[in-house]
Structure formats: C-alpha cells, structure tokens
Amino acid sequence: MIVRLVKLRFRESEIPAFLANFEKVKEKIRASNGCLYLELLRGEDDPCIFFTHSHWISDEALQNYRNSELFKGIWAQTKTKFSAKPEAWTTSSLEKLL
C-alpha cells in the first residue's frame, strides 16, 4: 500500500474556492481505481496550510490517477490558488495501530 501526503499552502482569499472545489471532486477522487482512502487536513497553527492524505493500492494506481484527466482538471484549478510551492511525499505504510 502507498500512502501519499501532499502539503498545500493557499492564499487566504482562495481557501473558500479550494474547499468548494474539493467538495465537488472528493467522491470522484475516492472512486478512482486503486484509491483506498482520502482525507483532507487543515493546519491548526496556520489555517492556510492543508494536507491531502490518501492511500493507494499501489504506486501504479497512484500514477494512473496522477495521469488522469480528473487529476489534470483538479490540479489546473488548484495550482492557481497556491501561495507556496506544494510538497508531496509518497511513502509505504510500515506499521499501523488503531
């Protein structure tokens, strides 16, 4: 399983538009082939920082999503709202306690 973390910093004025768009596309992202989990997090100390946290069945599934028309459309709308370059990490889950 692949765990993807993406840190996004938005201009404050763009946050409502980002959240509205996320609301429209979140189910489509989650329904993408190989997506097991999707979560949106917001910084407690800085409300302009968000993280997407997603789980994918494989790196191939993640890459297929990243190359999809869905992702390209979402990214085209989202990247214009950033106040800083996004950061992303693709990780493997080693251990999980619930």
**Can you tell me the mean pLDDT for 53-82?**
98
Is residue 80 domain-resident? yes
Evaluate if pTM is beyond 0.85. yes
Q: What is the mean pLDDT of the chain?
A: 97
Residues in CB range of 63: below 8 A, 6 or more apart:
none
Q: Is the pLDDT of residue 93 over 90?
A: no
Is residue 30 domain-resident? yes
Is residue 6 domain-resident? yes
Q: What is the pLDDT of residue 33?
A: 98
User: Which CATH number fits the domain that encloses residue 69?
Assistant: 3.30.70.100
Q: How buried is residue 58: exposed, middle or buried, by Cβ count under 10 Å (0-12/13-18/19+)?
A: exposed
Is residue 88 domain-resident? yes
Counting the structural domains of the chain, the total is 1
Q: What is the pLDDT of residue 42?
A: 99
Instruction: Give the domain range for residue 37.
Output: 2-92
Q: What is the pLDDT of residue 9?
A: 99
